[in-house]
Amino acid sequence: MATLEGRPVDRPAVSFYEIGGLKMDPSDPDPFNIYRDPSWRPLLALAEEQTDLIRMRSPVRAQSHQAWDAPQAASQGPRSEFLTTEQYLDQGCRMVRTTLRIAGRVMTSLTRRDPDVDTVWTVEHLLKSHEDVEAYLQLPDDAFAETIDVSPLIDEERRLGERGIVMVDTEDPLCAAATLFSMGDFTIVAMTQGNLFHQLLKKCARVIHHRTEVVARQFPGRLWRIYGPEFATEPCLPPHLFDEYVVRYTGPMVEAIRRTGGFARIHIHGRIRNVLDSVVRMGADAIDPIEPPTQGDVDLAFVRAKYGHALVLFGNLEIADVENAEPDQFEKIVRKTLADGTQGDGRGFVLMPSACPYGRTVSTRTLRNYETMIRCVEEL
């Protein structure tokens, strides 16, 4: 919190992001839970015992926020009139098919969860045509009603005590809209059918803006992570559409969070150079993960010098380096990152990788590199 508030700290904060953030339970017997593997236990313990914990939690009861179990839309209540879901196994993979019936159309989506990879792949996206979007827009707002409950966040905060903080984790309207399409269809619609896409964004925004307002009032003064703005960055969309699709629809979320003393952290992978001015203008307090080239297109030292007065910087270690770099090489990367992230004046810096391993086993090299992050911070 001292980092977020721009107060002096004894050392830079260090976070392992999802490790220590998401619910990773090695005791859960689900065969799709990769964290059951013994190789994960030392890394999970390292995060719990030696990092500045940032628990990533959703205020929506239907979203589990377990790392290995992506939330699915619940086919209950008002949704059940339009949506049905079917879960089954196919060649050892967990498949979930969602069927939407509205305005005389039948639309389907399909996701796949492989047993040894902590990722849910969307094999088939729900919206595939202009007509599908028009039909989707006819869904009543009641079909998107959700149960908001901040009590689990308060309980988690109480359990953490001084060991860390709870961060409200939420998508923005752009994320909710873009993920209904394949990437190719999304970019075409967003660039060539702006009026239609704005209608979809407004529909998604109604429920997300309401949720943000309610949670910001009931759980004030906390850190939030807003994910989705990267859909409007290069090479997906040109920078001018970032203002149109992010500032316009994510900006009100930032305002609601800040009105109650909270901190809005914007999550954007990849190329951010040409949208940083818009992120600051939107009023954001922080940004992550500031990926170094070649995944990103801007150096941390540049971001610190030009935007560090406005933004707390979270990053800028690439997960590929955490997993693949030799320990001596990785230590040099960490020390340079710490120097670039803390030089001169600025609101603050949190040393953090861009993601976490998603395979069933953690290599000895990977564990050593995570240990190096802790050691380098402690030696400053």
CATH number, position 351: 3.20.20.210
Q: Which of 23-27, 105-109, 141-145 has the lowest mean pLDDT?
A: 141-145
Q: Mean pLDDT over residues 22-49, rounded?
A: 96
The three-state DSSP-derived secondary structure of 76-109 is CHHHHHCEEEEEEEECCEEEEEEEEEECCEEEEE
Query: What amino acid occupies position 232?
Result: A
Q: Other C-beta atoms within 10 Å of 139: how many?
A: 18
Q: Mean pLDDT over residues 346-368, rounded?
A: 97
If you average pLDDT over every residue of the chain, what do you get? 95
The pLDDT, as a whole number, for residue 63 is 72
The pLDDT, as a whole number, for residue 76 is 58
CA dist., res. 4 & res. 205, Å (int): 27
CA dist., res. 168 & res. 145, Å (int): 19
Q: Other C-beta atoms within 10 Å of 90: how many?
A: 9
**Preceding omega of 294 cis (within 30 degrees of 0):** yes
In which domain, by residue range, is 360 found? 13-72+128-378
Q: Does 179 have pLDDT greater than 80?
A: yes
Q: Which strand (E) or helix (H) includes residue 218?
A: helix 194-218
How far the first Cα of the chain sits from its last, in Å, is 20
Does residue 86 form part of some domain? no
What is the number of domains present in the chain? 1
DSSP 322-333: HHHS-HHHHHHH
The three-state DSSP-derived secondary structure of 159-178 is HHHHHEEEEEEEECHHHHHH
Q: Mean pLDDT over residues 17-37, rounded?
A: 96
The pLDDT, as a whole number, for residue 77 is 65
Does residue 82 form part of some domain? no
The pLDDT, as a whole number, for residue 66 is 73
The pLDDT, as a whole number, for residue 367 is 98
The pLDDT, as a whole number, for residue 208 is 97
Q: What is the pLDDT of residues 270-294, one digit of tens each?
A: 999 999 999 999 999 999 999 999 9
Phi-psi region of 270 (alpha: psi -120 to 50; beta: other; left: phi over 0): left
Angle at CA 170, nearest 5°, toward 167 and 176?
Answer: 170
Does residue 111 form part of some domain? no
Query: Which two tokens mark 4?
Result: 């977020």
Q: Does 74 have pLDDT greater than 60?
A: no
CA dist., res. 155 & res. 73, Å (int): 25
Does residue 7 form part of some domain? no
The pLDDT, as a whole number, for residue 80 is 83
The pLDDT, as a whole number, for residue 69 is 61
Does residue 3 form part of some domain? no
Q: Does 341 have pLDDT greater than 50?
A: yes
Largest CA distance in the chain: 64
Q: Mean pLDDT over residues 145-164, rounded?
A: 94
pTM comes to 0.96
Does residue 339 form part of some domain? yes
Query: Which two tokens mark 69?
Result: 């179990």
**pLDDT tier at 71 (50, 70, 90 boundaries)?**
very low
Q: Are 269 and 354 in contact (CB under 8 A)?
A: yes
Does residue 154 form part of some domain? yes
Q: What is the pLDDT of residues 253-276, one digit of tens each?
A: 999 999 999 999 999 999 999 999
Q: Are 228 and 175 in contact (CB under 8 A)?
A: yes
Does residue 104 form part of some domain? no
For residue 291, CA distances in Å to 268, 354, 362 come to: 9, 7, 22
Q: Does 70 have pLDDT greater than 80?
A: no
Q: Mean pLDDT over residues 173-197, rounded?
A: 98
Share of the chain above pLDDT 70, in %: 97
Q: Does 181 have pLDDT greater than 50?
A: yes
